[in-house]
Structure 1
Amino acid sequence: MTVHVAVLDPLPMYQQGVATALSEIGHIVETPENPLAWVRRSPGAVVLLTLIVHGDWELLSRLRLERSPHAVIAIVEDDVVALGVRAVRAGARSVIPRHVTDETLRRTIEATLDGQAVLPAKVAAALASGEQHPVPPAERLEWLHQLAEGATVAQLAQRAGYSERAMFRLLQALYQEIGVRTRLEAIMQARDRGWLPRVGPAPAATGPGGGRGGRSG
């Protein structure tokens, strides 16, 4: 069965790879600039939406409100469990990691079109347990601990081996996973949930990202 598929990902090479894999089995693949308008004129379509920044999550929420029948498959990276749980609750029907094989992607689309929800086992388990915000991996808890101790994003990036821009993006994703928007809120939440020791004052947030210029995470 031929299906219209929208691929929404920030990397053109990734889009091209997915388009090639799906076109080979007869699907019509597009990268619409206006996804909401696209689903309205493509009933029964599938949207492959990579969730990285806040705007991606907003789009997922808006797609959920569209009346035109369509299915969203959320593509996540990093912490698949936390992001996968959040994606399902925000309206995604299925969830897959960003690094899956072409064959897994094809099977996921087929199953989703059949009305099934395809989820990694750990995501399904977290949803079944009712856990609102799964505990982040140890590495990310260590990031919060270092931020609580006054580290900057530049320092975190250097220690973790990321660029400062990539580190900022990872921190923003972490904040979203635990349901907050700023560094200060993230540290307070982590302490309230017992993820961090309750010692020392939390640093003051100075911008949307909680750091200098709003980009220090």
Structure 2
Amino acid sequence: MAMHLAVVDPLPLYRQGVSAALADLGYTVDAPEDPLTWVRRTPGLLLLTLLTENDWLLLNQLRTAAVNHHLIAVLTSDSVSLGARAIRAGAQSVLDRAVTDEVMRRTVVATLDGQAVMPAAVATALTAGTVAAPRSDPALSAEQLAWLRQLAAGMTVARLAHAAGYSERAMYRLLQALYRQLGVRTRIQALMLTQEQGWLRADVSP
């Protein structure tokens, strides 16, 4: 039976580019609307871009459904924490979304061959356990922890600004500074890191 590959990404141009790059290796490349159904029916490998918390939820679901499949997590950040989280959530390999076609091809071939491909820093962190243990002292202020918890609970930046007594523009600046402090670039990445490190627990204080 022919080996199939699937690309799950919100951007059609990215999916088309990846499909073209991998089709050169002789694989059939799909872009399934329902990845869970695809992995149950089609033997192969799935590349899943992780942008939102729903994407991470899908990765966890795929881990259960795709018992005999290969999963590559495609990340938009070189965060060691996110890379380690993807591996623990069920991905076999981790790939930066901005890699060249040649690196992508090599990663796919190696993953299909049973190897795990990831940045060296991610492998080191997983081996050492440096990203697995929650931190009791996140070096954040009580106010910053409260902001993260409120954002994780679904509060909008506008409502957060109003509750904190800032203008919406000032709140955005404060949050951007907080993201830099955490070593991430976006709100989604900050919330993923916050959840992973256990900072959402009520018993964690600065």
Give yes or no for TM over 0.5.
yes
Equivalent residue, structure 2, for 1:77 = 76
Pairwise CA distance, 1:158: 5.7
Tell me, in whole angstroms, the C-alpha distance in 1 between the residues paired with 2:131 and 2:112. Answer: 28
Pairwise CA distance, 1:90: 0.4
Q: Please tell me whether residue 105 in structure 1 is matched to residue 104 in structure 2.
A: yes
Equivalent residue, structure 1, for 2:45 = 46
Query: What is the TM-score with the length of structure 1 in the denominator?
Result: 0.69
Equivalent residue, structure 1, for 2:200 = 185
Structure 1 counterpart of 2:110, one-letter code = A
Structure 2: segments with no counterpart, 5+ residues: 135-139, 149-160, 177-184
Q: Sequence identity of aligned pairs in percent? A: 44
Tell me, in whole angstroms, the C-alpha distance in 2 between the residues paired with 1:96 and 1:26. Answer: 21
Structure 1 counterpart of 2:97, one-letter code = R
Pairwise CA distance, 1:156: 5.4
After TM superposition, list the pairs within 5 Å mapping 1:147-162 onto structure 2.
150=164, 154-155=169-170, 157=172
Equivalent residue, structure 1, for 2:127 = 128
Tell me, in whole angstroms, the C-alpha distance in 2 between the residues paired with 1:41 and 1:154. Answer: 48
SS in 2 for 1:179: helix
Tell me, in whole angstroms, the C-alpha distance in 1 between the residues paired with 2:78 and 2:170. Answer: 22
Q: Contact 1:72–1:92 (CA<8 Å) still a contact in 2?
A: yes
Equivalent residue, structure 2, for 1:95 = 94
Pairwise CA distance, 1:78: 2.2
* Pairing partner for 1:170 from 172, 186, 206: 186
Total equivalences in the alignment: 178
Q: Contact 2:70–2:92 (CA<8 Å) still a contact in 1?
A: yes
CA-to-partner distance for each residue in 1:4-55, whole Å, 9 max, x for gaps? 1111111111111111111122111111011111111112x11100111111
Are the structure 2 counterparts of residues 67 and 27 from structure 1 closer, same or farther at C-alpha, using a change threshold of 3 Å?
closer
RMSD: 3.6
Equivalent residue, structure 2, for 1:206 = none
SS in 1 for 2:72: strand
Query: What is the TM-score with the length of structure 2 in the denominator?
Result: 0.72
Tell me, in whole angstroms, the C-alpha distance in 1 between the residues paired with 2:106 and 2:53. Answer: 28
Structure 1 counterpart of 2:80, one-letter code = V
Structure 1 counterpart of 2:61, one-letter code = R
